[in-house]
Amino acid sequence: MLQVSYIRENKEEVLARLAVRNFAEPQLVEEVIHLDDQRKRTQAQADELLAKGNAAAKQIGELMRNGKKEEAEAIKAETSSNKEEVKALQDELAQIEHDLQQRLVQLPNLPHKSVPAGKTPEDNEVVLVNGDLPSLPKSALPHWELAAKYNLIDFELGVKITGAGFPVYKGKGAKLQRALINFFLAEADKAGYEEMMVPHLVNEASGFGTGQLPDKEGQMYHVGLDNLFLIPTAEVPVTNLYRDVILKEEELPIKNCGYTPCFRREAGSYGAHVRGLNRLHQFDKVEIVQVVHPDHSYDVLEQMSAHVQGLLQKLGLQYRVLRLCGGDMGFTSALTYDMEVFSAAQERWLEVSSVSNFETFQSNRLKLRFKGKEGKTQLPHTLNGSALALPRILASILENFQTESGIKVPACLVPYTGFDFIN
């Protein structure tokens, strides 16, 4: 969430950076400033009346102690309406603060100066391409056909049990899935990330803290009876470990990782591009999260990007890195890199990771602070990244490493699978 003080002091810059996002409601900026002016005036009036009331109460007490009851009663009569006026102002103040908060939560994060202008994924900037695109014979199969051929994944069983988008992994398919999870966690551990096992359901405050609520409420599965939400990513519970916390500067950076299933309604997603593992309602992911000093966050973003790229390199997958344009970035992000793997059988790029710097946007919502060496309290920067999301990685492995006799397992996974070939 943006800070009101920053909006007030940098109004034109805020409007210019929101324009990079193609934000459709720039008038909210003016409304925030107007409501903040109202809040200050109303607060000042309430404080003035409270001060007068306190002074009158003190004076009445002194007069009563000195036996001047009539004078005390006269002052009491003069100030009898004071409490009602204060109550009215406090009610007005509460409404203004509510209206101000409602406007603030509708404002997305401001894009970093390096974010390219644009409206659609076609406007994203290709930062680098690693490796030559794989070349497969014309007889190559997409992953959903390979999964059926080698009895790795059963999509129809998932439909029977739950519905579309909830696949059942079987035999070597399940072992390959587990191998990927263990490999990603082991690599995160080597990189200094502390593993966390977190709940898969979160409350409303947690969803708000990381920016999923109210922005993505329609994309989350809601357990109505308990007012809980199934997590769309481990980012939510892991980052919320630090909600309402004041850290010491020497505790930074904090590096956590976690494996969880992820649940997304993906409402409105239809067509061939979502077939098989391309888009699911439930999938597995290893997430990396950092809480860092603001001076270092963009260096950390590059380090996190390099970590994800290292995983793809060890898997032997060709990939590219995109810097997302303003119109394609998530609501909470200041800068996002997407990593995409090329699916040779589908002949298209598949997003497998997003690595983002949220600057102070999440920490402000989370009320997460750190105390500097001089004793000053500041907002840290938060970052997170998929390291990695499994469905499209698994799809790319099946498709890109297929041979006439079966599927070759990447060497880095063999210690975890116990086999190097699927046939």
Beta-sheet strands, E only, within 275-376: 282-292, 319-323, 335-343, 348-357, 369-371
302 is in an annotated binding site: no
Spatial separation of the C-alpha atoms in residues 309 and 256, rounded to whole Å:
18
352 is in an annotated binding site: yes
The answer to whether the beta carbons of residues 295 and 351 sit under 8 Å apart is no
Type of residue numbered 418: G
266 is in an annotated binding site: yes
The answer to whether the beta carbons of residues 67 and 49 sit under 8 Å apart is no
Q: Taking the CB of residue 295, how many other CB atoms lie within 10 A of it?
A: 8
265 is in an annotated binding site: yes
Strand bridging mode 222-223 / 319-323: unpaired
187 is in an annotated binding site: no
103 is in an annotated binding site: no
Q: Write down the residue that tokens 């998530």 correspond to.
A: 330
3-state secondary structure of 25: coil
287 is in an annotated binding site: yes
C-alpha 352, offset from chain centre: 16
DSSP labels, 346-410 = TTEEEEEEEEEE-TTHHHHHHT-EEE-TTS-EEPPEEEEEEEEEHHHHHHHHHHHTB-SS-EEPP
305 is in an annotated binding site: no
What the block records as the tokens of 217 is 């409420």
Q: Rounded to the nearest 10 degrees, what angle do helices 82-104 and 27-65 cross at?
A: 160
Q: Residues, the chain, total?
A: 423
Q: Rounded to the nearest 10 degrees, what angle do helices 27-65 and 69-78 cross at?
A: 170
Q: Which residues are annotated as a binding site?
A: 233, 264-266, 287, 351-354, 384
Binding-site annotation, residues for L-serine: 233, 264, 287, 384
Q: Which residues are annotated as a binding site for ATP?
A: 264-266, 351-354
